[in-house]
Structure 1
Amino acid sequence: MRSLLFALLMLFALPAQSAERLDPTPRIAVISAFAPEWVKLKAAASDARSFDVNGIEFVTATLAGRKVVLFLSGISMVNATMATQIALDRFDITGIVFSGIAGGVDPALHIGDVVVAEQWAQYLEATFARDLGGGKYALPPWKKPEQPNYGMIFPGSVEVRRAGLKQPEEKFWFAADAGMLAAARRLHDVPLAHCTAANVCLDKKPRLLVGGNGVSGQAFVDNADFRRYVFASFKAQVLDMESAAVAMVAYTNGAPFIAFRSLSDLAGGESGGNEMAIFMALASDNSASVVQRFLSVWQPLR
């Protein structure tokens, strides 16, 4: 009995072991939120091999001449955070590239456009303030307004921990990698679809735009008034449900990050109903086309 007890004590005293690497090759993580966004990427990849971790399929492959690991984050911030950290723990990641769809909030942009934001923030990392009536709200005494509010919603920074910091830091914006952005700005003449498979065509031919801001949150936004608020308050071009979470994980792990988001809808800015169901496949393909060209241009540091 004593020897058994001693063995158990020694077992619990052992330090936690890091997750085992599934593949030793340095690879670029290429992430999509849900299946329609990665069909084109998987179809274009070669030398594919699949791994399953916690029910997530990770596919190592060669894409546009680069060694990559493709996977679906799942929709929303928590799923994106979890899946990205698993990839960083289980693979040798040299950079993180997100390819997906989003809602457009800049009135100058149109469905099908591909946006590459310079920085990302979480608009629902927020305090829901006390309603005093008459359009007035009160934050708790320890809170100060950091960003313009939308009614009771007061967005603010998030506490971030990373290696090398003695104390957590407060951050609102998480920047895309400067080298990746420079490579994205060298992309020209990437063919972008402007008609769906059902021959529904856009009024304007899609464009690639590099720069500006993006925001992410746990809500699917289809509201014209909130869209106006996001554009006015954050000078955002695009709104989605994952990119800022992945940007934060990349920052805490010291990994280069960039997101390519093609507009499938206008987040409530359409004159009729939401058009995501009509243009989702077109937008997904446009993002994937730009990502493949990007991979052929950007050179990882190792």
Structure 2
Amino acid sequence: MRLALTLLFLTCAPLSAPLAAQAAHLLDATPRTAVISAFPPELMALEAATTDKHDHAAAGTRFVTGTLEGKPVVLFLSGVSMVNAAMITQLGLDHFKIERIVFSGVAGGADPDLEVGDVVAPDSWVQSSEMAYAREVPGGLAPPQGLTAGLPAFGMMYPRPVRAQRDPGEAPEERLNFPADPALLKVARRVAERVTLQRCAADQCLTKAPKVVVGGVGGSGPVFVDNAAFRQYAHTTFGARVLDMESAAVAQVAYVNKTPFIAFRSLSDLAGGDPAGNQFPVFLKFAAANSATVVRAFVKALP
């Protein structure tokens, strides 16, 4: 009897009630550009350059609205790694009227033509550590059938696509790459021609002036890569120019939400290709500052 009454109540209850209860509350209704970084050193210069700042909070995350280079923005930290980045990006989209997403941060370089200090804005992002681990069998390895992308393996690890669905009525997509927005890339190319980057960090200077590169592929995964063999594998297999821990997750969230996205990553190290040990601790702030310089110029150039 109790079960029957419960089912009757659920059947007769207005369908709008649970949906209304679940609707996210906008903390700010102004259309804004979201500027995201993974952790504080990457966002400091951008927040310092932001005026008319107001703090907001949601689910333990601090959001700062204000004006950067004459444009309305909302700044926030994604947190480090893929789950944090996806979760906090969606949180931002739910609570703010975000017109586009711009990520600013550091990364390891996978392209041998790039050096520490260079800033890269890839035109697509792959989840380079999304893998199926193969079973060991007599004579070799047997990857699980139907779960891999048909790309070369790194040892027992076989790349696999991720599933994304943009509309409930459409079939899910199996995707290896998530794109940056073509219009934002066009702005980035214009900015790249005229921006000047720092060459020295504290008492250390680079042998070459750093450059801004737009295009190619970026790779992300929940792994800090400091391995020369995997660096070469990621560049050869995916075409990865940079490796980080967040951008591809943000790119997927942006894709599903149909929100324009671009990420700028400045090389703090060479992901295992550094000749005398990983340079991340030395060039972190320097690389973050170069990325922030490009992002400020990019935001200023937005329509």
* 1:170 aligned residue (166, 169, 174): 174
Corresponding position of 1:100 = 105
Matched, 1:209 2:218: no
Percent same amino acid at aligned positions?
A: 51
1:274 & 1:48 partners in 2: Cα distance? Answer: 36
1:1-302 counterparts in 2 under 5 A? 14-16=17-19, 17=21, 18-132=23-137, 136-163=140-167, 165-187=169-191, 188-196=193-201, 198-299=202-303
Secondary structure of the residue aligned to 1:186 is: helix
Deviations 1:228-270 (A, max 9, x none): 1111111111000000000000000000000000000000001
Change (3 A) 1:133 1:298: farther
2:14 & 2:145 partners in 1: Cα distance? Answer: 47
Change (3 A) 1:133 1:107: farther
Counting matched residue pairs gives: 292
1:256 & 1:146 partners in 2: Cα distance? Answer: 29
Q: Which amino acid aligns with 2:101?
A: I
1:165 & 1:95 partners in 2: Cα distance? Answer: 25
Change (3 A) 1:172 1:145: closer
* TM norm structure 1: 0.92
Q: Which amino acid aligns with 2:134?
A: A
Q: Which amino acid aligns with 1:41?
A: L
- Post-superposition offset of 1:123: 1.3
* TM norm structure 2: 0.92
2:148 & 2:67 partners in 1: Cα distance? Answer: 48
- Post-superposition offset of 1:143: 3.1
**RMSD of aligned alpha carbons:** 1.8
- Post-superposition offset of 1:166: 2.1
Secondary structure of the residue aligned to 1:29 is: strand
Change (3 A) 1:63 1:133: farther
Q: Which amino acid aligns with 2:35?
A: V
Q: Which amino acid aligns with 2:222?
A: Q
Q: Which amino acid aligns with 1:67?
A: P
- Post-superposition offset of 1:12: 11
- Post-superposition offset of 1:208: 0.3
**Structure 2, unpaired ranges of 5+:** none
Secondary structure of the residue aligned to 1:19 is: coil
- Post-superposition offset of 1:145: 4.2
